[in-house]
């Protein structure tokens, strides 16, 4: 009974895990934390750029077919990026929720990246069709990064 209580509290006795498992788990947890903080800071920085120095470049990426004003979209997405990025860093107990929201955000803005490629819009140094096309493959990486750093993509028996 005591072992079950300890297990429910997330405390594992030596007989359940080897020392190697604990070291490996600790390293994965530390790497996941670093990935979460780096992505969170990057998102907060990108959101700040939306509102300041890169506002016009971000406006150029809003597809013509999108039914809202370009500046409203850029400001709104910038605020969302700052909120999600700051939350990913500052709210580690909510990392799964925030990681999932970040992944959903990356999926939601993907059509803008596709439109940038299809329309041939130059922004952020992406001045060729090839560069804009290659960029499309980084969006799934960001989705996976958000899910992994948030702890959503982990083995069921893996501890945070």
Domains contained in the chain, number: 1
- Residue 156 maps to a domain: no
Average pLDDT over residues 53-70: 90
- Residue 41 maps to a domain: yes
- Residue 56 maps to a domain: yes
- Residue 97 maps to a domain: yes
- Residue 79 maps to a domain: yes
26 confidence band (pLDDT: 50, 70, 90):
confident
- Residue 103 maps to a domain: yes
- Residue 82 maps to a domain: yes
DSSP type of residue 126: B
Q: What is the pLDDT of residue 10?
A: 47
- Residue 6 maps to a domain: no
Average pLDDT over residues 116-130: 90
- Per the structure, the complete domain to which residue 112 belongs is given by 27-149
Helix axes 95-119, 70-90, angle to 10 degrees: 150
68 confidence band (pLDDT: 50, 70, 90):
very high
């Amino acid at each position: 009974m005591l072992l079950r209580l300890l297990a429910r509290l997330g405390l594992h006795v030596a007989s359940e895990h080897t020392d190697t498992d604990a070291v490996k788990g600790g390293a994965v947890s530390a790497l996941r934390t670093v990935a979460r903080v780096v992505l969170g800071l990057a998102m907060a920085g990108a959101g700040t750029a939306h509102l300041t120095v890169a506002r016009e470049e971000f406006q150029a990426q809003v597809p013509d077919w999108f039914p809202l004003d370009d500046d409203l979209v850029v400001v709104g997405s910038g605020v969302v990026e700052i909120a999600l990025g700051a939350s990913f860093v500052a709210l580690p107990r909510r990392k799964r929720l925030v990681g999932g929201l970040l992944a959903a955000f990356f999926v939601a803005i993907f059509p803008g990246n596709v439109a940038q490629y299809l329309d041939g819009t130059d922004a952020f140094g992406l001045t060729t069709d090839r560069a804009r096309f290659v960029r499309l493959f980084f969006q799934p990486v960001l989705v996976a990064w958000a899910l992994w750093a948030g702890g959503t993509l982990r083995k069921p028996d893996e501890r945070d």
